[in-house]
Structure 1
Amino acid sequence: MQIDLHCHTTASDGALTPAEMVMRAGVMQIDVLAITDHDSVSGFYAAKKAREEQRLARLQLIPGVEFSTLWEGFEIHILGWQFDLEHPAIVRLLAEQRERRHQRSEAIHAKLVKQGVAADVLPTPRPDSRPELNSESTAKVVTRLHYAEALFAHGYCNSVQNAFEKYLGKGQCAYEKPQWCLMSEAVAVINAAGGVASIAHPLAYDLSNKWLRRLITEFKDDGGQALEVISSQQNPEQRRWLTELALEYELLASAGSDFHYPGRYRELGRNLTMPNELTPVWHDWPLQIRGM
């Protein structure tokens, strides 16, 4: 099966609407897809409706989310799947994270305006505060990427990356320190709602091997079950290293493209083959095997 458990829609910082994501998944012949927007599940509801409208019986959608969390001063992203979307703990944490995002966005907006950026070219910092439970629309959250794209589009910097270097990156004039939930809380909430928790892109946090091992140890002690071992932009050495860690710490392995927009180097479902020695996180999920 073609499985991708990590992608983003316009409900967070992706370029495709949930309906467009479902359509692309069909084109790319994806069998199992988890939409894992940042601190939001509204994209899943919209994708589920689009799947029915497009009659993509082959595509299986998995409830998912990517929580932004804090651990020892680092921002660590925790993926969750197969949880009860209406569980009170999930609903509460999503609402709290959304409010944290709104507050951070407002602070970034104010700092950029103070630096002379015209307010009317920037994203609305609090575009939608509606509860997202059972929402058929995509309740949007504004991220730093949205600000970076606006700054680039209106000539305040020469690239999206330059927007982070000049304004939005850590230590720059419009940086606002995040106030996310603790990693342990996100894992506990995912577990309470019957889901599975995984560390997203473990090599993206600039941790030494010693600190990465400490992160994995504490994550597992908190009840975490999986490690995102397979991603589309890895070299063989990185994949081998993460495979070794998953085996050593007896963690399930996940695979995901972290797809945000169509591009040459990162595509939905591409280069996500799971090594035979690993136990996939989906090994006991009730998936429909194609052709059976």
Structure 2
Amino acid sequence: MPFFDFHTHSHFSDGEHSPQHLAKIALEAGIKQLALTDHDCVDGLPELKSNALGLEVINGVEISSTWQNTEIHILGLLIDPGHKAISELLENQQHLRRERIERIHQKLCKLGISGLLEYLENLNCKALTRTHVSNFLVSEGHSKNNQKAFKVFLGKKGKVYSPANWCDLTESVNAIAASGGIAVIAHPSRYSISSRALNALVKDFRNAGGEGLEISYPNIDQATRKNLKTLAIKNNLYCSGGSDFHSYSRTWAQIGKFPTLQDNGEIKTIFEHPSWKARQNLHS
């Protein structure tokens, strides 16, 4: 099992647990380095750091981005969360999220479903997501479970579907780089795009200044992982990994439970990045 996890979420976005509890889970799992990568927000980092208890905390974020009309998630690792470039981008992302929630709320009201905004106001959350809306629909008895809530209401063919005009992929990469971070494409095999499109995405990402590719995450098969390794090598990208942990209920995505990055030197791991080496020298 890896000694690190560079992709996790807390209740500040669509995770279920507090950053403090994430630290507890990570330590119990034997994790030494943990990145909190909430969607479009960094508000949970102070709480995680204050409860680290020997756990090395990596500043992180997951930015919802657009590439050729497709939503792509870009991880920012080792960012300076207070840097102007990242702060301004995340502020705009939050604005887009609030606008989307308002549009969904209005559509729900037309269906005779009220109470969403009041429900959301009671959450200790910064980045409002469709998952929060699905939780509301389930809790109020409008849907049997979250999967059906997305299918009937929130997905592309859903009754209240409302797309968000996220920032361009290049904007995400630039903001991450400006804040001293490393931009990494999250779970690249999970996007509904062809192999040719994935190759084009990775190439455009690299040309924009992106530096990393997440190649190790839960439920990835060997063939897919091999293909991602090849993509990383071809585009001279550093390889990263993480669980994309949200809650205990997602049994397939628990902290630290994903393939190791060990590969006999075929790839460059995130630990070989100059910024990572500089960080480790400071902590040694």
- TM-score relative to the length of structure 1: 0.89
Where do residues 212-291 of structure 1 align in structure 2 (5 Å cutoff)?
A: 212-263=198-249, 264-274=251-261, 275-276=263-264, 277-283=266-272, 284=274, 285=276, 286-287=279-280
Q: Structure 1: where are the runs of 5+ without partners?
A: 129-137
Summarize the Cα distance change of 1:120–1:203 in structure 2 as closer, same or farther, 3 Å threshold: closer
Find the aligned partners of 1:50 and 1:140 in 2 and give their Cα distance: 20
Summarize the Cα distance change of 1:252–1:208 in structure 2 as closer, same or farther, 3 Å threshold: same
Shift of 1:171: 2.8
Shift of 1:272: 3.1
SS at match of 2:202: helix
Q: Is the 8 A contact 1:123 1:146 kept in 2?
A: no
Partner residue, 1:95: 91
Find the aligned partners of 1:215 and 1:82 in 2 and give their Cα distance: 23
Find the aligned partners of 2:109 and 2:127 in 1 and give their Cα distance: 20
Q: Which has the higher helix share?
A: 2
Find the aligned partners of 1:121 and 1:250 in 2 and give their Cα distance: 45
After superposition, the CA RMSD in angstroms is 2.0
Partner residue, 1:4: 5
Shift of 1:122: 6.2
Find the aligned partners of 1:98 and 1:39 in 2 and give their Cα distance: 7
SS at match of 1:158: coil
Shift of 1:113: 1.9
Summarize the Cα distance change of 1:222–1:103 in structure 2 as closer, same or farther, 3 Å threshold: same
SS at match of 1:261: coil
Quick one: which amino acid aligns to residue 247 of structure 1?
Answer: I
Find the aligned partners of 2:130 and 2:253 in 1 and give their Cα distance: 20
Q: Alpha-carbon deviations, 1:113-156, whole Å to 9, x = none? A: 211213268633x679xxxxxxxxx6522110011112122221
Q: Is the 8 A contact 1:123 1:147 kept in 2?
A: no
Q: Is the 8 A contact 1:122 1:151 kept in 2?
A: no
Where do residues 173-192 of structure 1 align in structure 2 (5 Å cutoff)?
A: 173-192=159-178
SS at match of 1:194: coil
Quick one: which amino acid aligns to residue 130 of structure 2?
Answer: R
Q: Alpha-carbon deviations, 1:45-96, whole Å to 9, x = none? A: 1111222xxxx21x10000000001111000100001122221111111111
Shift of 1:249: 1.4
Partner residue, 1:135: none
1:172 aligns to 2:173 (yes or no)? no
1:26 aligns to 2:27 (yes or no)? yes
Shift of 1:268: 0.2
Find the aligned partners of 1:121 and 1:36 in 2 and give their Cα distance: 25
- TM-score relative to the length of structure 2: 0.92
- Greater CA drift, 222-231 or 243-252: 243-252
Q: Is the 8 A contact 2:116 2:133 kept in 1?
A: no
Quick one: which amino acid aligns to residue 91 of structure 1?
Answer: S
Partner residue, 2:40: 39
Find the aligned partners of 1:152 and 1:121 in 2 and give their Cα distance: 15
SS at match of 2:71: strand
Quick one: which amino acid aligns to residue 22 of structure 2?
Answer: M
SS at match of 1:287: helix
Instruction: Give the number of aligned pairs.
Output: 276
Quick one: which amino acid aligns to residue 170 of structure 1?
Answer: K
4+ aligned runs moved over 6 Å, structure 1: none
Partner residue, 2:59: 63
Q: Alpha-carbon deviations, 1:183-221, whole Å to 9, x = none? A: 000001111111100111111111111110110110000
Q: Is the 8 A contact 1:85 1:91 kept in 2?
A: yes
SS at match of 1:62: strand
Q: Alpha-carbon deviations, 1:159-180, whole Å to 9, x = none? A: 1110011000013221111111
Q: Is the 8 A contact 1:123 1:142 kept in 2?
A: no
Q: Structure 2: where are the runs of 5+ without partners?
A: none
Partner residue, 1:72: 68
